[in-house]
């Protein structure tokens, strides 16, 4: 009798536990569906809207004045390219240098840990704050908004990302490769640049691309540095249009034609990001090295 009751109780408990297990599994799956489905929907919607709005004019024409239909974002594309060019010139070399320090010179030191930590924290500082700082640092002394100041803001935002990915990629290079170079009597700087960095270069390049794609969509730091411009300009010393800024302005405008242009601009940015993210995935999954042990 007693034994049976214990067994029954045990069975009941086991059943309960398996029900809870099933429920938890169900909930996790539900959460995933709840998250992934709308996210995929957003993505598909963006691509659909963008693709149906994109045409050749988008790439070749400047915006038409309010009330006229047509026009494109040629000036914003060129503006973004200029801003990103300035940003990359500043952010990529400094970022790679920082990554080289972390991986090749600073390993295990307190300074390196502090740099790594600060880089990660800096990554979380809102971009609008970066914009204020650059405004105070460059725009105020110059007395006017400029493409240059916008580029500097973007470049500064690239540094932490590039530093951290460069470090990660360099750490994937086996130590044996470094030793081989040093044992040949190759100077350290040469060995780092021509051997270690070169070996990790596919990874470093894609890391830079990712940082590039991320800041390509940054809007907040440009609002009061590059400001935006509806005319054609390639002057680094004047305000300049940028794709994300234009999307922001057009999205909040009351004109359907401008909405269409905003969607097209969003698609261009998304394509850039998809490319960068896929490349990073591809390179890191394959490993930075082919066949090296």
Partner 1 sequence: MTEIRISQTQVLSEAGNPPGQGPANGAQPEASAIRTFLLSRGNSAGADRVFQWLMVLCALTIFGIVALIAMQLVYGSQLSWHKFGFSFFAWPAGFTFASIFKAVLDPNAAQPNYWDPVNGHFSALPFIYGTLVSSFLALLMAVPLAIGVAVFLTEMCPGALRAPLAFITELLAAIPSVIYGLWAVFVLVPLMREQVNPFLNKTLGWTGFFSDDNPTGLGFFSAGVILAIMILPIISSLTREVMLAVPHSQREAVLALGATRWEMIRVGVLRNARIGIVGAIILGLGRALGETMAVTMVIGNSIEIHRSLLSNGNTMASVIANQFSEASDNMHLSALVELGLALFVVTIVVNALAQLLVWAVTRGAPARAS
Partner 2 sequence: MGVGIEVTNLNAWYGTNHTLQDINLNIPANHATALIGPSGCGKSTFVRCLNRMHETNPIARVTGTVRIGDLDIYNDCKPVEIRRRVGMVFQRPNPFPTMSIYDNVAAGLKLNGYSNHHVLDEIVERSLKNSALWDEVKDDLKKKSGASLSGGQQQRLCIARALAVDPEVLLMDEPASALDPVSTSKIEDLIFQLKSQYTIVIVTHNMQQAARVAEKTGFFLNGRMVEFDSTHKIFTNPSDKRTEDYITGRFG
Is the dihedral angle over the CA atoms 254, 260, 264, 267 positive or is it negative? positive
For residues 124 and 59, the answer to whether their CB atoms sit within 8 Å is no
| 26 binds partner 2 per the rule CB under 8 A | no
- Which residues, numbered 212-231, are part of the site for partner 1 (CB under 8 A)? 213-214, 216-220, 223-224, 227
Please check whether residue 156 is in contact with residue 137, taking contact to mean a CB–CB distance below 8 angstroms.
Answer: no
Q: How far is CA 54 from CA 50, 72, 221, 275, 291, in A?
A: 6, 9, 26, 18, 43
Question: Is 93 among the residues that bind partner 1 (CB under 8 A)?
Answer: yes
Residue with Cβ nearer partner 1 (74 or 137): 137
Q: Please, what is the minimum distance in Å from the beta carbon of residue 128 to partner 2?
A: 41
User: Should residue 285 be labelled a site residue for partner 2 when binding is judged by CB under 8 A?
Assistant: no
**Contact with partner 1 (CB under 8 A): which of 160, 202, 203, 207?**
160
Asked whether position 171 contacts partner 1 by CB under 8 A, the answer is: no
How far is 26 from 44, CA to CA, in rounded Å?
26
Q: Is 44 in the site for partner 1 (CB under 8 A)?
A: no
Residue 9 in contact with partner 2, rule: CB under 8 A? no
Task: For 12-64, give the secondary structure using H, E and C.
Answer: HHHHHHHHHHHHHHHHHHHHHHHHHHHHHHHHHHHHHHHHHHCCHHHHHCCEC
- Shortest separation between residue 29's beta carbon and partner 1, angstroms: 6
Q: Is 182 in the site for partner 2 (CB under 8 A)?
A: yes
Min separation Cβ 252 and partner 1, Å: 7
Q: Which two tokens stand for residue 141?
A: 């002394």
Q: How far is the CB of 207 from partner 2 (least distance, A)?
A: 17
Q: Which does 51 bind (CB under 5 to 8 A by kind): partner 2, partner 1, none?
A: none
- Report if residue 110 touches partner 2, rule: CB under 8 A: no
| 190-229: contacts with partner 2 (CB under 8 A) | 190-191, 194-195, 198-199, 201
| Residue 216 backbone phi and psi in degrees, to 5 | -60, -30
Give the interface size with partner 1 as a residue count (CB under 8 A): 99
Nearer to partner 1, 40 or 51 (CB): 40
Angle between the 74-100 and 243-251 helix axes, to the nearest 10 degrees? Answer: 130
Q: How far apart are the first and last CA of the chain?
A: 66
Say if residue 140 is exposed, middle or buried (CB neighbours under 10 Å; 0-12, 13-18, 19+): exposed
Work out whether 148 is an interface residue with partner 1 (CB under 8 A): no
Cβ of residue 24: shortest distance to partner 1, in angstroms?
A: 4
**Which residue's CB is nearer to partner 2, number 60 or number 188?**
188
User: Shortest gap between Cβ of 174 and partner 2 (angstroms)?
Assistant: 7
Give the binding site for partner 2 (CB under 8 A): 107-108, 174, 176-177, 179-188, 190-191, 194-195, 198-199, 201, 289-293
């Amino acid at each position: 009798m007693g034994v049976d009751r214990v067994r029954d109780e045990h069975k009941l408990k086991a059943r309960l536990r398996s029900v809870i297990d099933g429920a938890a599994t169900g909930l996790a799956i539900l959460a995933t569906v709840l998250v992934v489905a709308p996210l995929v929907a957003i993505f598909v919607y963006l691509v659909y809207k963008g693709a149906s709005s994109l045409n050749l004019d988008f790439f070749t024409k400047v915006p038409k004045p309010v009330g006229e239909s047509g026009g494109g974002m040629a000036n914003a594309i060129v503006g973004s390219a200029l801003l990103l060019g300035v940003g990359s010139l500043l952010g990529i070399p400094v970022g790679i240098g920082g990554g080289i320090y972390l991986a090749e010179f600073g390993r295990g030191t307190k300074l390196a840990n502090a740099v790594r930590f600060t880089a990660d924290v800096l990554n979380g500082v809102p971009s609008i704050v970066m914009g204020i700082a650059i405004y105070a640092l460059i725009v105020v002394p110059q007395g006017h908004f400029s493409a240059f100041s916008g580029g500097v803001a973007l470049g500064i935002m690239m540094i932490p990302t590039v530093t951290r990915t460069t470090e990660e990629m360099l750490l994937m290079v086996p130590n044996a490769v470094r030793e081989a170079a040093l044992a040949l009597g190759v100077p350290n700087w040469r060995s780092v640049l021509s051997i270690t960095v070169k070996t990790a270069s596919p990874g470093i390049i894609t890391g830079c691309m990712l940082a590039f794609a991320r800041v390509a969509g940054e809007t907040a730091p440009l609002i009061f540095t590059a400001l935006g411009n509806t005319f054609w300009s390639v002057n680094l010393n004047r305000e300049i249009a940028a794709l994300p800024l234009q999307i922001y302005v057009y999205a909040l405008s009351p004109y359907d034609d401008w909405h269409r242009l905003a969607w097209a601009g969003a698609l261009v940015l998304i394509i850039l990001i998809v490319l960068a993210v896929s490349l990073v995935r591809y390179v890191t999954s394959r490993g930075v090295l082919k066949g090296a042990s």
